[in-house]
């Protein structure tokens, strides 16, 4: 709840100030607080679902067959990755050469961890398969 209030700090203070000046009726404050609690629970649920999905993914992928670079990139894609995964981005994330990145990607494609997106050539991109299905 504290993280949600921190995220909505300006509205929290506005609601608090409004409640202090409105006499004994705290209904608007309680309404806002309960809605804030609902949003906090929603964020917690989203975080839990993401953790469970990641756990299912690692149950599906044999960790013994994934090298440290691949593990690092897979976790990064799962947590906070923006845009599309290309061999260039892979190389930067894994701190390896472009050739090594391409070899790692091909291994992950062969194991069914990644899939190639539509398109090709220099703009070839990849995505994690959906481990929920």
Per-residue pLDDT tens for 26-72? Answer: 899 999 999 999 999 999 999 999 889 888 888 888 878 899 999 99
Res. 24 pLDDT band, cuts 50 70 90: confident
Query: What is the 8-class DSSP label of residue 117?
Result: P
- How far apart are the C-alpha atoms of 70 and 22, rounded to whole Å? 58
**Average pLDDT value over all residues in the chain:** 90
Res 123: pLDDT: 78
Q: Are 3 and 46 within 8 A, CB to CB?
A: no
Res 56: pLDDT: 87
Q: Are 108 and 85 within 8 A, CB to CB?
A: no
Single pTM value for the model? 0.69
Which residues face 128 on adjacent strands?
Answer: 114
Element (H or E) spanning 126, and its range?
strand 126-128
- How far apart are the C-alpha atoms of 13 and 120, rounded to whole Å? 51
For 78-121, the pLDDT digits (tens) are 887 888 899 999 999 999 999 999 999 999 999 989 999 987 77
- How far apart are the C-alpha atoms of 116 and 110, rounded to whole Å? 11
Which whole number is the average pLDDT over 17-25?
Answer: 84
- How far apart are the C-alpha atoms of 116 and 128, rounded to whole Å? 9
Res 109: pLDDT: 94
Coil/strand/helix, residue 104: helix
Share of the chain above pLDDT 90, in %: 59
Res 133: pLDDT: 58
pLDDT score of 132 more than 80: no
């Amino acid at each position: 709840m504290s993280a949600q209030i921190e995220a909505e700090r300006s509205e929290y203070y506005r609601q608090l100030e409004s409640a202090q000046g409105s006499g004994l009726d705290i209904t608007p404050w309680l309404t806002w607080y309960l809605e804030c609690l609902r949003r906090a629970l929603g964020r917690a649920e989203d975080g839990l679902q993401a953790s469970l999905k990641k756990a299912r993914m690692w149950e599906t992928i044999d960790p013994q067959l994934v090298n440290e670079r691949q593990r690092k990139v897979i976790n990064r894609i799962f947590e906070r990755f923006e845009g599309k995964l290309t061999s260039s981005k892979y190389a930067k994330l894994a701190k390896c050469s472009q050739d090594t990145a391409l070899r790692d990607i091909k291994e992950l494609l062969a194991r069914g961890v990644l899939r190639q997106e539509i398109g090709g050539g220099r703009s070839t991109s990849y995505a994690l398969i959906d481990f929920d299905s």
